């Protein structure tokens, strides 16, 4: 079965600041996309048709409010200690340090520059 998640939007209040944060922490190359109702930077399959998986964007629009209290989007990491080491330097905070979840691998959670809680996941 194909992954049922097609698209994820991460809300921002300062799109350029958020772009810098995600590029520094995750090594992403974000591409701008102008839409009539919002500004965004896209990543994943949305920015590269040869990339499989879920696509998404950092967005700035009316009605999109950053939050640490709702849904958590997880980014896959080969060794999440690498990304965790970049978080504070890039302006974010570590909310939950690297945590062993046994046979399922490791996870951590961070707060980005916009106030969103974001997850990091590392396979065992």
Q: Which domains does the chain have, with CATH numbers?
A: 7-122 (3.10.180.10)
Burial degree of 93 (CB within 10 A; 0-12, 13-18, 19+): middle
| Per-residue model confidence (pLDDT) at position 53 | 75
The Cα-based distances of 102 to 77, 83, 95, 121, 124 in angstroms read 17, 20, 20, 13, 8
Q: How many angstroms separate the CA atoms of 39 and 52, rounded?
A: 24
User: Tokens 């590029």 belong to which residue?
Assistant: 23
| Residue, of 61 and 19, whose pLDDT is higher | 19
Distance between CA atoms of residues 80 and 84, nearest Å: 6
Nearest CA to 44 out of 19, 7, 80, 72 is that of 7
User: Over the stretch 21-79, which tens digit does the pLDDT of each residue have?
Assistant: 999 999 998 999 988 888 999 988 755 666 667 889 999 988 889 999 999 999 999 99
Report which of 71, 65, 70, 115 is spatially closest to residue 95, judged by C-alpha positions: 115
The residues near 89 (Cβ < 8 Å, ≥ 6 apart) are: 24
């Amino acid at each position: 079965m194909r992954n049922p998640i097609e698209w994820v939007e991460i809300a921002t209040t300062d799109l350029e600041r958020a772009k810098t944060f995600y590029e520094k922490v995750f090594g992403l190359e974000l591409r701008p996309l102008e839409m009539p109702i919002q500004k965004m930077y896209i990543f994943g399959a949305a920015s590269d048709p040869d990339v499989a998986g879920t696509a998404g964007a950092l967005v700035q629009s009316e009605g999109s409010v950053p939050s640490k209290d709702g849904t958590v989007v997880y980014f896959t990491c080969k060794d999440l200690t690498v990304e965790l080491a970049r978080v504070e330097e890039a302006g974010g905070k570590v909310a939950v340090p690297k945590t062993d979840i046994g046979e399922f691998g490791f996870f951590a959670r961070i707060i980005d520059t916009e106030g969103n809680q974001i997850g990091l996941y590392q396979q065992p």
